[in-house]
């Protein structure tokens, strides 16, 4: 994955946050660190009738995608089989990362690395009953620091090349 393009997002009413950060965007490395350290993340899918379904998940940021598992018959899996557009968010609103993208089945070539890294992060074994594993490929991401910082940055919108 190429490094995404950073810009200030269009967020009317959030001028104070942009001013507090001196109009500086966050580095992508800031978002990657948040995604890597966050234990519980929120996955939002869309129900077939159009309503949102949000649930906490465990997962990993690896090789430019968010990787996770859920049972093939779970509500989440049923939802994204019908509509692959999802959002992932870290659990902290103070230093939030939100990714919007499309979910797909994890390539077999990534499975062993995912299982090993998942065991390290969560001390939990991925079993065949938890298959298949999935990835979310980002299209857009947002980084929001509750209090902007002129050294680090504040609110950022990243776009990814497709």
User: What pLDDT digit, counting tens, does each position of 11-28 carry?
Assistant: 888 788 888 888 889 999
Say what the pTM is.
Answer: 0.91
% residues pLDDT > 90 (the chain): 71
Query: What pLDDT, on the 0 to 100 scale, is given for residue 162?
Result: 66
Query: What pLDDT, on the 0 to 100 scale, is given for residue 35?
Result: 96
Contacts of 78 (CB under 8 A, 6+ apart): 48
For the chain, report the end-to-end CA distance as a whole number of angstroms.
9
Nearest-angstrom CA–CA distance, 59 and 86: 14
Q: Enter the tokens of residue 48.
A: 């077939």
Nearest-angstrom CA–CA distance, 141 and 156: 8
Range scoring the smallest mean pLDDT among 36-45, 64-73, 104-113, 149-158: 149-158
CB 99 within 8 A of CB 65: no
Q: Which helix (H) or strand (E) holds 32?
A: helix 28-37
Query: What pLDDT, on the 0 to 100 scale, is given for residue 1?
Result: 60
Nearest alpha carbon to residue 21 among 143, 158, 141, 152? 152
User: Among all chains, which residue has been given the structure tokens 């969560």?
Assistant: 122
The superfamily CATH assigns to domain 5-154 is Electron Transport, Fmn-binding Protein; Chain A (2.30.110.10)
User: What pLDDT digit, counting tens, does each position of 80-139 carry?
Assistant: 999 999 999 999 888 999 999 999 999 989 999 999 999 999 999 988 777 789 999 999
């Amino acid at each position: 994955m190429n490094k995404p393009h950073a810009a200030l997002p269009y967020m009317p009413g959030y001028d104070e946050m942009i001013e507090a950060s001196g109009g500086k965007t966050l580095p992508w490395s800031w978002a990657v660190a948040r995604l890597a350290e966050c234990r519980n993340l929120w996955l939002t899918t869309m129900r077939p009738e159009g309503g949102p379904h949000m649930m906490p998940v465990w997962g990993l940021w690896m090789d430019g995608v968010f990787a996770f598992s859920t049972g093939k018959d779970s509500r989440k899996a049923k939802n994204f089989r019908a509509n692959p557009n999802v959002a992932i968010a870290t659990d902290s609103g103070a230093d939030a990362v939100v990714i919007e993208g499309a979910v797909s089945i994890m390539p077999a070539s990534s499975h062993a690395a995912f299982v090993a890294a998942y065991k390290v992060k969560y001390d939990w074994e991925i079993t065949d009953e938890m298959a298949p594993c999935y990835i979310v490929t980002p299209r857009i991401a947002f980084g929001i620091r509750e209090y902007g910082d002129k050294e680090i940055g504040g609110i950022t919108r990243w776009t990814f090349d497709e």
